[in-house]
Chain A
């Protein structure tokens, strides 16, 4: 028996493209706007969400038969908040530097609607292994978009990637800046993320017309 059945593989791969949580389901936009001004933050956030969503989906899936339906949203919220706080505390004790990088994301992870969305739509109705795969898949789909947006915003807005100047020095006018090129200050403010996400959605839908909804 293969480790991943065909259904399992599609659980991971679908959210990367045709069922992407950001571009198709339009979830998690808040954090996509907030932290994609630089590539490093996008990557950190993507990894943190992979971890929390993968684990959270498993926990919810294991509890799915005993959760009272009337308070299931609250239960989900407690699970995700507890997970995030546990990770935060452990990192603070043993990986202090890393924990400081992540501190700003803690609140954004808890309120990320992709997490609640997957708990609600998938983990409550499926077994732990599939829920785990679904969590990883959706978090990766989210992460991919974050990294694409982060790449363009940091490159066009600051002329750097991962904080390393790639287009020359904007103040001393070297490299590309010698030709009169300027950083686009608009790219580093949050509305630019909406535009970049919009362009990704546009490109994705024109390549695959099946994604366009009938009106």
Chain B
């Protein structure tokens, strides 16, 4: 196995972590398994495509707008649809996010068609040589951006009043409400933040790979695997788990062939769940 393969795995892991971070955030704070997270990722890519493909923007310039756009779409969804459902049965929000996933796919298809799309950029198909190791530029950018976004998320959660409110709402929503915290707003802000992170992942996925209306599901599964490996509530753990997943994939493909990629990854996934069900890393913001 060459260093090129190992480096590719580490860098791909950055993108996995970015996709897993939003899922982990929503599950850690709201206790909601968001089955529409893959569509939030793809939604970000489609939003960016309006600026990149149609208006000629650079994807990195379109990225903040795509993040803001997805956050604006996600906020009312959580506030007026999912939060009321959270107060009822445990399964209702889960089913609702599944419905949202199907609805989003249908909307993407109606608006953008079914052909694959990609976000063109000069760094999409260029490479860098670092210490003799050749890597794809866009994955270096994705990894750097993921580190920045993970650090930003961690700082918001641990060093700001909003983060304190979020952790309080996550630990005990009833007590938090008594203390004057607008729990519904906190939930909606969390979901919007997760959607923004998902959109960032979508833009980078669109540059590095491609996307179609049905591309969300594999991304969702990747995100779940990252979350389970990381354990709920650890931002640093999500980054480490993403990298671990990327390396595991690359190494297993190199050693056993592509057909064994998913077998090895999900075997590791189940082993972690069996041996350390709380994940590989400690909680930081979940209650």
Indicate whether A and B interact: no
